Amino acid sequence: MNDSSNRKPSGAARLFEPVEIAGLRLANRVVMAPMTRSFSPGGVPGPDVAAYYRRRAEQDVGLIITEGTAVDRPAAANDPGVPHFHGEAALAGWEQVVASVHAVGGRIWPQLWHVGALRSGSGSWRPPQPFESPSGISRPGRESGVAMTEADVEATIAAFARAAADAKRLGFDGVELHGAHGYLIDQFFWEGSNQRTDRFGGATLAERTRFACEAIRAVRRATGPGFPICIRLSQWKQQDFPARLAHSPEEMASWLEPMVDAGVDVLHCSTRRFWEPEFEGSELNFAGWAKKLTGLPTITVGSVGLSGEFVASFGGERSEPASLDELLRRLDREEFDLVAVGRALIADADWARKVREGRFAELGAYDRSVLARLA
């Protein structure tokens, strides 16, 4: 029987089919991963930043997640070129970014960021006040800045909520909280950086989700129902790559479920290589498990379309274009909903358009030298 008219698209067609995520209609499943570019002097994103995101939106990126942008705390950023998400000038800059992306039919979420105890790996710049974090350490034995008082914690939650309300007011299509890679929210999750004895600490991962949950609840209150809220999560930390938060599916459920209850809509599951199984005995990756355990839509990421992963690329390793077959196979199985692409989209603004049109021979390599300019 020929039932092809009822068949779901598969392969690249499925990557480029329209999809609705948390009530938001996207032209396709390709997401631009959040990537710090440090081209916003004084924390203000200018017309070059707006043009950079617009170019990706006009070349078939379904959803842009901006580079991490600092919430309103004195030490939320660790680099002077990182855009702020507070203050009149920075917010006016972001309004232009949103307008540019919307003008070509794109969708965009800001990634709201606080670095916690993590100073920048490059450069000696320091914020006006000491770094602040759950316990004044970035990892066991590594002091950095000060431990937050309960009042600091409350003020930081309020800063995330204000930023989200501003995002909605400026016309953004949702928000992402940066809860990954060893930064502030992740410092609360991780026992190696959270040694608090108040209600924001605890012996179990479930207890240490409280900060994230309160931030999500505050963001939901500030934005109301129907505004997509995503959180980016990772097991790995920059300060300890092999570290893991959840050692079993059960522990992963105890981490994710409180955030679902708090009102998060989308889970962005950051791995360095999307094809790596999360737990023994199953091929599912982190995004696959997160979707299976919570039923929420998930975003996968990590070396999509490239031969090497991004940490090595900071060290100078070049990545060549790589096959998308394994990714498309997993997408067909509905292991995850959206696919975030990082470096390939820095190297080539037309990456999504070329993939959609099957112009694979035109895809280029990624080399860290492309970071020198915003193109």
Ligand X SMILES: Cc1cc2nc3c(=O)[nH]c(=O)nc-3n(C[C@H](O)[C@H](O)[C@H](O)COP(=O)(O)O)c2cc1C
Which residue numbers are catalytic? Answer: 183
Residues contacting ligand X: total by CB under 6 A: 24
**36 touches ligand X by CB under 6 A:** yes
* 148 closest CA partner among 166, 125, 130, 160: 130
Q: Which is nearer to ligand X, 196 or 268 (CB)?
A: 268
**45 touches ligand X by CB under 6 A:** no
* 344 closest CA partner among 30, 63, 45: 30
Q: Which x/- pattern over 103-122 shows residues binding ligand X (rule: CB under 6 A)?
A: --------x-----------
d(Cα 139, Cα 57) in Å, to the nearest integer? 38
d(Cα 159, Cα 165) in Å, to the nearest integer? 10
The DSSP H or E segment spanning 230 is: strand 229-237
Kindly indicate which of the ranges 28-36, 42-50, 125-133, 187-195 contains the residues binding ligand X, using the contact rule CB under 6 A.
28-36
**179 touches ligand X by CB under 6 A:** no
d(Cα 15, Cα 353) in Å, to the nearest integer? 12
Q: How far is the CB of 310 from ligand X (least distance, A)?
A: 4
Task: Identify the DSSP state of 193.
Answer: T
**330 touches ligand X by CB under 6 A:** no
Q: Which is nearer to ligand X, 26 or 253 (CB)?
A: 26
- Dihedral sign for Cα atoms in the order 181, 185, 190, 191: positive
Q: How far is the CB of 303 from ligand X (least distance, A)?
A: 4
User: Please, which of residues 214-253 interact with ligand X by CB under 6 A?
Assistant: 232
- Pick one of 57, 59, 62, 67: the residue that binds ligand X (CB under 6 A): 67
**321 touches ligand X by CB under 6 A:** no
- Are residues 98 and 171 in contact, defined by beta-carbon separation less than 8 angstroms? yes
Q: Which residues pair with 65 in a beta bridge?
A: 109
Q: Which residues pair with 109 in a beta bridge?
A: 65
Binding residues (CB under 6 A) for ligand X: these are: 33-36, 67-68, 111, 178, 180-181, 232, 270, 301-304, 306, 309-310, 341-344, 371
